[in-house]
Amino acid sequence: MSKKVLVIGEAREGSLRNVSFEAIAAANIVSDGGEVIGVLCGSGDLNEMGKEMVYYGAERVITISNEELKTYTSDGYGQALAEVIEDESPDGIIMGHTAIGKDLTPKLASRLESGLISDATEVVNDGGSIVFTRPIYSGKAFEKKEITDGLVFATIRPNNIPPLTRDESLTGEVTEKTVEITNIRTIIKDIIRKSTDGVDLSEAKVIVAGGRGVKSAEGFEPLTELADVLGGTVGASRGACDAGYCDYSLQIGQTGKVVTPDLYIACGISGAIQHLAGMSNSKVIVAINKDPEANIFNVADYGIVGDLFDVVPKLIEEVKEMKVNA
């Protein structure tokens, strides 16, 4: 049965996040030939971002621009989206499983007394029934789930559902809606940016991660350089975070971020089960460790037994050379 599906888009530093395009692709499966409508909240002119959603497959886009929506709050976004949902009575809603997605969607689902499937890595239309796959027990298992009552409401994990091909010849209306925002109960006083490159670990295509074997904060420097030449970002094990070599925001694992990049390079990480929980579903895993018995080699596609301070600089040079020759 064809459905009308809303996709809640999300920007980071002025441009739409990739996961919003992935959400359009997911919504396209859910809609089963129905309509996919993008929704954007923010401040200033959102028209260009609206068009971008159209190029990625949204049939039309509704934008809500309001100074009160400049930074995300659950109350502000909640009110804006409640009105869109009221106007459109959608059959489904899809959003990225990002910080905002995690904070906002349970509120909306709860208000609508609807089910919600969080953190899906796959969506299929199985003869009209929409089936979501999601990791459970930190990726040690998966479950297939469906909504049995109400809206088909889900968040999708970044980097798992491929977006549709961008096509600038696609056209669709971008309409602005005015919403009055009142009574925001949580006031954002300040945001201290710690992430440097604007790419969140969960969305990174390449991650170079360091563990206790990196030995110091300075020890992360070659890893950062390797990440730079590969166009990726740096992550860490809890061992490295606990030792104070880096910020907890970089932690990957059961109690940190769960990531699925195309390439994960683990340097000086032993491969504790709690760490594997956060990265074992990466597409390609490389392990660099001086201990040939380290557990990380059991999940690695390629391993180098050696001192990371010897291997990583050489790897940087080799990648640079490859790029020059390419």
Q: Which does 191 bind (CB under 5 to 8 A by kind): ligand FAD, other proteins, none?
A: other proteins
- Residue 127 DSSP symbol: T
* Among the residue ranges 24-32, 46-54, 170-178, 189-197, the one whose residues contact other proteins (CB under 8 A): 189-197
Query: Is residue 99 part of the contact set for other proteins (CB under 8 A)?
Result: yes
**Beta carbons within 10 angstroms of residue 155's beta carbon:** 28
Nearest to 281 by CA among 294, 262, 295, 265: 262
Among 124, 136, 167, 171, binds other proteins (CB under 8 A): 136
Torsion sign across C-alpha atoms 194, 199, 202, 204 = negative
Residue 248 binding target from ligand FAD, other proteins, none, CB below 5 to 8 Å by type: other proteins
Q: Which does 166 bind (CB under 5 to 8 A by kind): other proteins, ligand FAD, none?
A: none
Angle at CA of residue 172, ends 170 and 178, nearest 5°: 150
Total site size for ligand FAD, rule CB under 6 A: 28
Binder among 168, 180, 190, 293 for other proteins (CB under 8 A): 190
Residue type (1 letter), 197: D
Residue 237 bridge partners (DSSP): none
Nearer to other proteins, 60 or 102 (CB): 102
Kindly tell me which residue out of 9, 210, 219, 256 binds other proteins, with binding defined by CB under 8 A.
256
- Regarding 222 and contact with ligand FAD (CB under 6 A), the answer is no
Nearest 5°: phi and psi at 174?
-115, 110
Kindly tell me the burial class for residue 234, based on how many C-beta atoms sit within 10 Å of its own C-beta (0-12, 13-18, 19 or more): buried
| SS3 call for 57 | coil
Q: Counting contacts by CB under 6 A, is residue 237 touching ligand FAD?
A: yes
With respect to other proteins, which residue has the nearer C-beta, 125 or 138?
138
Contacts of 279 (CB under 8 A, 6+ apart): 207, 209, 235, 252, 253, 258, 259, 260, 264, 266, 285
The one of other proteins, ligand FAD, none whose footprint includes residue 137, by CB under 5 to 8 A per kind, is other proteins
Toward ligand FAD, which CB reaches closer, 38 or 213?
213
Type and span of the H or E element at 149: none
Give me the half-sphere count of Cα atoms (radius 13 Å) on the Cβ side of residue 229: 18
Nearer to ligand FAD by Cβ, of 48 and 143: the residue is 143
Residues 156-175, interacting with ligand FAD (CB under 6 A):
none
Find the part of the chain contacting other proteins (CB under 8 A) among 34-42, 43-51, 60-68, 138-146. 138-146
Positions that interact with ligand FAD (CB under 6 A)? 211-213, 237-240, 251-256, 268-270, 272, 274-275, 278, 288-291, 294, 307-309
